[in-house]
């Protein structure tokens, strides 16, 4: 009879300049996993089923101390990137036709760019085939090829399928039944949310008043980065108490809340920078760059020691969650966020803090409605 081998914890050797170290902790090692969870900056990656901590010598030493002889160090499997493709004349023609169709139908520039990039490997894969004659099975085979060889993510898979669907439906005018392509089951990951204390620390971290105003505006109004960079000075409707969002996701206009505290900060910012058209402008005029906003946020997170996995979009998630915690009607939150369906907004109800202030235990009802006889081990006296 073979003895059962003791499972090992695997630490994957981080690549140069990697900010985090990943670990595989077998489920059976519950005590080790619980000890690791208590480490500062520990995080669980649901899709990869791996744990991680910040890449520091101190953390590595702590991990070695926790796991001891059960720790193995291995290299992460290198992901093969989809090779760059030099488009042929046939591919260029197909891309131009698709681009023209999307522009005429009013697709957002970001969507057009994403779909065109996604279609390039598809067109190359079937370059010697008439695109109109490609079957559903062949398309699924192509998607499987990308998953198997290049380990594309679920998000990439869905984007490529949407791009192919768009090409056949809009550019080639093929019937809708053609695109019933097998899609991956969506992961039900909850949005990442910051506490009120973390938000306060992050948005007040920048010393530069423009940077401070940018972070305050994203959180205060629940904005996407793309919406923030397109804000005009005239979109701050101070007299009516709202911010006007022009052409947000889905080409929709909407109103969102204007905090009087934000308005005071924006007025102070305006006196210093005097923007001419866009509320936040770059050094040479024009819209402020999205990358600069991401850098401002990352710096603030690092300086405050906040959740390292948060992004500027986390401020938008936090805006919605904090409003729900205050009991604001979900319809108002839906309108402020610009969601077409209340089901999209309802996801925030799943991440509300559960404690004795937000939820009453049924045990409370029992003790409040009945008289418990302490002299008996069972039963209640009415």
Q: Domain segments of the chain: what residues? A: 9-75, 89-179, 196-351
Asked if the model's pLDDT at residue 366 lies above 80, the reply is no
DSSP 3-state of 217: helix
Based on the residue annotation, tell me whether 261 is a catalytic residue of this protein. Answer: no
101: Cβ contacts below 8 Å, ≥ 6 apart:
170, 171
* Active-site residue identified among 210, 246, 255, 313: 313
pLDDT tops 60 at residue 300: yes
Does residue 316 carry a catalytic annotation?
yes
Please tell me the CATH code under which domain 89-179 is placed.
Answer: 1.10.150.130
Annotation says 216 is catalytic: no
Cα distances from 24 to residues 20, 60, 242, in angstroms, run: 13, 14, 48
For the cut 60, the answer to whether the pLDDT of residue 353 exceeds it is no
Catalytic pick among 249, 255, 290, 299: 249
Q: Of 24, 27, 25, 171, give the one whose Cα is nearest residue 95.
A: 171
CA 308 to the chain's CA centroid: 13
Q: Is 249 annotated in the active site?
A: yes
What DSSP assignment string belongs to 70-102? GEEEEEPPPPPPPPP----HHHHHHHHHHHHHH
Q: Is 179 a catalytic residue?
A: no
pLDDT band with cut points at 50, 70 and 90 for residue 1: very low
CATH value of 196-351 in 3.40.30.10, 2.40.50.180, 1.10.443.10, 3.20.20.70: 1.10.443.10
Q: With left for phi above 0 and alpha for psi between -120 and 50, is residue 247 left, alpha or beta?
A: left
Look at residue 378 in the predicted model and tell me its pLDDT. Answer: 45
Out of 12, 115, 288, 348, the active site residue is 348
- 374 part of the active site: no
């Amino acid at each position: 009879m073979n003895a059962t081998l003791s499972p090992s914890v695997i630490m994957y050797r981080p690549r140069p300049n990697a900010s985090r170290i990943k670990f595989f902790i077998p489920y059976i090692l519950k005590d080790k996993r619980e000890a690791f969870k208590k480490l500062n900056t520990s995080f669980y990656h649901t899709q990869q089923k791996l744990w991680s901590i910040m890449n520091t010598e101190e953390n590595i030493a702590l991990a070695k101390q926790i796991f001891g002889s059960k720790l193995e160090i291995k290299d992460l499997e290198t992901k093969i990137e989809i090779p760059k493709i030099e488009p042929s004349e046939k591919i260029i023609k197909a891309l131009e036709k698709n681009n023209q169709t999307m522009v005429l139908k009013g697709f957002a520039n970001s969507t057009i760019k994403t779909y065109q990039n996604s279609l390039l490997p598809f067109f190359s894969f079937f370059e010697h085939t008439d695109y109109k004659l490609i079957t559903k099975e062949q398309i699924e085979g192509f998607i499987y090829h990308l998953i198997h060889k290049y380990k594309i993510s679920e998000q990439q898979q869905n984007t490529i399928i949407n791009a192919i669907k768009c090409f056949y439906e809009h550019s080639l005018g093929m019937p809708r039944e053609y695109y019933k392509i097998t899609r991956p089951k969506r992961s039900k990951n909850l949005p990442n949310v910051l506490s009120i204390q973390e938000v306060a620390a992050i948005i007040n971290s920048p010393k530069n008043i423009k940077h401070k105003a940018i972070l305050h505006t994203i959180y205060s109004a629940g904005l996407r980065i793309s919406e923030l960079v397109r804000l005009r000075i005239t979109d701050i409707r101070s007299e009516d108490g709202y911010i006007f969002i022009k052409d947000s996701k889905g080409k929709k206009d909407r109103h969102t809340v204007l905090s009087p505290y934000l308005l005071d900060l924006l007025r102070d910012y305006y006196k210093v920078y005097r923007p001419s058209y866009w509320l936040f402008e770059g050094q040479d005029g024009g819209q402020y760059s999205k990358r600069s906003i991401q850098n401002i946020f990352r710096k603030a997170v690092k300086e405050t020691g906040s959740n390292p996995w948060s992004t500027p979009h986390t401020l938008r998630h936090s805006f919605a969650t904090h409003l729900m915690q205050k009991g604001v009607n979900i319809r108002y939150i839906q309108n402020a966020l610009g969601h077409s369906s209340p089901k999209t907004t309802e996801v925030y109800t799943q991440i509300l803090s559960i404690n004795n202030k937000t939820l009453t235990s049924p045990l409370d009802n029992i003790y409040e409605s009945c008289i418990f006889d302490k002299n008996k081990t069972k039963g209640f006296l009415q």
